[in-house]
């Protein structure tokens, strides 16, 4: 247990000392502000049959804990799921693997580290909640137990589930990469929607008795309201033994899920596909400097080819199989259906844009040309995949082919990780599928001219950010 705790604390310290952590805390504070709006605001997060609770300590605790159970579980997964990969990347994993540390203890430490990080965000949210309660002024009575109980029984178990899922996904071969990032969105969606039901197993996300207070009507999620809601007195979270037991079981199950990969986790002993070092080295002597003087010329085609290679190499075989099927799909189904699939399938490839670099390039010329070549490679992949399907909507297809890789390049360059684009783009398509026409760049409310302009905007932003970073290097 001491080793697991040591791992967790080291992990927590490593992650909280990055500039991005401050952004995470600010996001948590922003969540609080969303969940406890002013009395005349036109949005709510919790609508209990046209009513909301008076902002007592217990109610603001409830509503912000529910908000974190709903949204921190989604975003939090992407924030914490790099811990095992980082150990592998930095070589720390090999150091740990050479110690007597047991695999289950390692996984337990990683799980605890994730819980600590997500818990610190929840703590920032709780502190914000306390301040907001005083600021809104509907009830200034200090009720710390009432405020914190929902965090303990609603937020914490859900964050534990998220922390465990992150460990499980990171240590399971098929789920380790971008596929896992996309899958989490659907797992989360099913959990978030199904978990609000009174009949959800083990109490779902943790509030089965709210609908009965509101006459059966209730909605959880950011909602626009025409007129501010009426208020009621929330008595505080009831804690019958069955409820507390259900939350405890959820937490224990989270621990079990986190430890489950001990059955298959590689412990950083992954076989390398090609051991170039195994090839016998032929005898060789130093014969002096190369004789051919380098000649400069039009290098753009080679640069584009290089970027294309960087983009597609290492892509698993099943992706190529899917891409081949998608290419010919318009011959068998209406092109509209094929196009929708084409716009989702390359998400793992696009998300690599802007995130793959090498230290050498910092001292190489033409960083902007490189970025444009990288974007062009993303456009080429899109165009190739949709070559057969695009004839029906050539203009929207062309505009979107420019835009989506540009967006991926922008997010990749800004955040340095493919996860941002993967998460955002998956949500985007979820909204399109749910008829949010204003986001539909193929057959909906986004005209090609606007999409094309957005592509240009993304590119200009990427180039500007790179120029600023270069100037501040």
Partner 1 sequence: MLELLDITKVYKGSKRAVDGLTLRLGPGLHGLLGPNGAGKSSLLRIAATVTRPTSGQVRFEGTDAVARPARLRRALGYLPQDFGVYPNLSAREFLGYLAAVKGLSARSARTRIDELLELVNLTHAAKRPLGGYSGGMLRRVGIAQTLLADPRVVIVDEPTAGLDPEERVRFRNLLSDLAADRVVLLSTHIVADVESVAGRIAVVKDGRLRFAGTPDELLRTVDGHVWEAVVPPETELRFRTTRRVRVPGGIRVRMLATAPPLPGAVAVAPDLEDAYLAAVHR
For partner 1, the binding residues (CB under 8 A) are 272-277, 279-282, 284, 286-303, 305-307, 309-310, 313-314, 356-366, 370, 472-473
Q: Is 123:12 a contact under the CB 8 Å cutoff?
A: no
Cα separation, 468 vs 74, whole angstroms: 32
Q: Is 92:14 a contact under the CB 8 Å cutoff?
A: no
Nearest approach, Cβ of residue 469 and partner 1 (Å): 11
Q: Is 81:170 a contact under the CB 8 Å cutoff?
A: yes
Of 358 and 438, the one with the shorter C-beta distance to partner 1 is: 358
| Residue 220: CA count within 13 A, CB half-sphere | 24
Of 2 and 275, the one with the shorter C-beta distance to partner 1 is: 275
Nearest approach, Cβ of residue 199 and partner 1 (Å): 48
The bridge status of strand 51-53 relative to strand 230-232 is parallel
Q: Report the DSSP beta bridge partners of residue 43.
A: 224
Of 226 and 269, the one with the shorter C-beta distance to partner 1 is: 269
Of 42 and 356, the one with the shorter C-beta distance to partner 1 is: 356
Q: Report the DSSP beta bridge partners of residue 224.
A: 43
In terms of C-beta density within 10 A (0-12 exposed, 13-18 middle, 19 or more buried), how is residue 179 classed?
A: middle
Nearest approach, Cβ of residue 172 and partner 1 (Å): 21
For residue 45, give the 3-state DSSP assignment. Answer: strand
Nearest approach, Cβ of residue 79 and partner 1 (Å): 23
Copy the structure tokens of residue 403: 């835009």
Of 136 and 370, the one with the shorter C-beta distance to partner 1 is: 370
Of 98 and 292, the one with the shorter C-beta distance to partner 1 is: 292
Nearest approach, Cβ of residue 314 and partner 1 (Å): 4
What is the phi/psi pair of residue 48, to 5°? -100, 80
Nearest approach, Cβ of residue 416 and partner 1 (Å): 13
Nearest approach, Cβ of residue 420 and partner 1 (Å): 20
Cα separation, 32 vs 29, whole angstroms: 5
Of 251 and 355, the one with the shorter C-beta distance to partner 1 is: 355
Of 141 and 295, the one with the shorter C-beta distance to partner 1 is: 295
Structure-derived torsion over alpha carbons of residues 355, 356, 359, 361, reported in degrees to the nearest 10? -100
Of 19 and 100, the one with the shorter C-beta distance to partner 1 is: 19
Cα separation, 373 vs 350, whole angstroms: 13
Nearest approach, Cβ of residue 56 and partner 1 (Å): 43
Q: Report the DSSP beta bridge partners of residue 223.
A: 44
Of 246 and 378, the one with the shorter C-beta distance to partner 1 is: 378
Q: Count the Cβ atoms, other than its own, within 10 Å of residue 87.
A: 21
DSSP E strand stretches across 119-257: 219-224, 230-232
For residue 69, give the 3-state DSSP assignment. Answer: helix
For residue 356, give the 3-state DSSP assignment. Answer: coil
Query: N- to C-terminal Cα distance for the chain?
Result: 43
Interacting residues of 148 by C-beta distance below 8 A, sequence separation 6+ = 61, 126
Nearest approach, Cβ of residue 464 and partner 1 (Å): 18
Nearest approach, Cβ of residue 408 and partner 1 (Å): 18
What is the phi/psi pair of residue 130, to 5°? -60, -45
Of 216 and 301, the one with the shorter C-beta distance to partner 1 is: 301
Sort residue 201 into left (φ over 0), alpha (ψ -120 to 50) or beta: beta
Nearest approach, Cβ of residue 432 and partner 1 (Å): 32
């Amino acid at each position: 247990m001491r080793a697991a705790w040591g791992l967790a604390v080291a992990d927590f310290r490593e992650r909280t000392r990055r500039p991005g952590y401050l952004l995470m805390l600010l996001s948590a504070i922003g969540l609080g502000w969303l969940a406890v709006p002013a009395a005349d605001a036109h949005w709510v997060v919790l609508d209990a049959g046209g009513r909301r609770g008076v902002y007592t300590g217990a109610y603001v605790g409830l509503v912000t804990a529910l908000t974190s159970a709903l949204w921190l579980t989604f975003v939090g997964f992407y924030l914490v799921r790099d811990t095992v990969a980082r150990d592998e990347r930095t070589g720390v994993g090999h150091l740990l693997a050479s110690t007597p540390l047991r695999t289950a203890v390692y996984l337990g430490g990683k799980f605890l580290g994730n819980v600590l990080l997500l818990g610190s965000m929840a703590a920032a949210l709780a502190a914000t909640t306390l301040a907001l309660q005083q600021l809104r002024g509907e009830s200034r009575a200090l009720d710390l137990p009432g405020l914190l109980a929902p965090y303990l029984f609603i937020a914490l178990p859900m964050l534990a589930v998220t922390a465990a899922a992150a460990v499980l996904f990171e240590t399971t071969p098929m789920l380790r990469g971008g596929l896992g990032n996309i899958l989490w969105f659907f797992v989360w969606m099913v959990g978030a929607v199904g978990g609000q039901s009174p009949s959800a197993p083990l109490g779902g996300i943790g509030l089965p008795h709210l609908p009965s207070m509101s006459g059966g009507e209730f909605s959880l999620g950011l909602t626009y309201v025409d007129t501010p809601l009426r208020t009621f007195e929330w008595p505080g979270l009831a804690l019958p033994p069955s409820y507390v037991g259900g939350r405890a079981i959820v937490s224990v199950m989270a621990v079990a899920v986190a430890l489950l990969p001990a059955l298959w986790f590689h412990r950083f002993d992954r076989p390398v596909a090609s051991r170039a070092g195994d090839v016998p080295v032929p005898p060789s002597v130093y014969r002096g400097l190369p004789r051919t003087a380098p000649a400069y010329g039009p290098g753009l085609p080679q640069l584009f080819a290089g970027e294309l290679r960087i983009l597609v190499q290492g892509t698993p075989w099943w992706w190529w199989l899917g891409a081949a099927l998608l290419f010919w799909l318009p011959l068998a189904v209406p092109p509209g259906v094929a196009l929708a699939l084409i716009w989702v399938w390359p998400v793992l490839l696009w998300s690599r844009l802007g995130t793959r670099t090498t230290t050498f390039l910092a001292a190489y010329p033409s960083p902007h040309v490189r970025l444009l070549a990288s974007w062009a490679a993303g456009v080429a992949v899109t165009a190739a995949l949709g070559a057969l399907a695009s004839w029906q909507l050539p203009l929207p297809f062309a505009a979107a082919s420019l835009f989506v890789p540009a967006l991926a390049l922008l997010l990749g360059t800004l955040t340095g990780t493919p996860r941002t684009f993967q998460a955002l783009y998956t949500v985007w398509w979820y909204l399109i599928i749910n008829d949010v026409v204003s986001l539909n760049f193929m057959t909906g409310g986004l005209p090609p001219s606007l999409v094309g302009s957005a592509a240009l905007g993304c590119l200009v932003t990427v180039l500007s950010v790179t120029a600023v970073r270069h100037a501040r290097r």
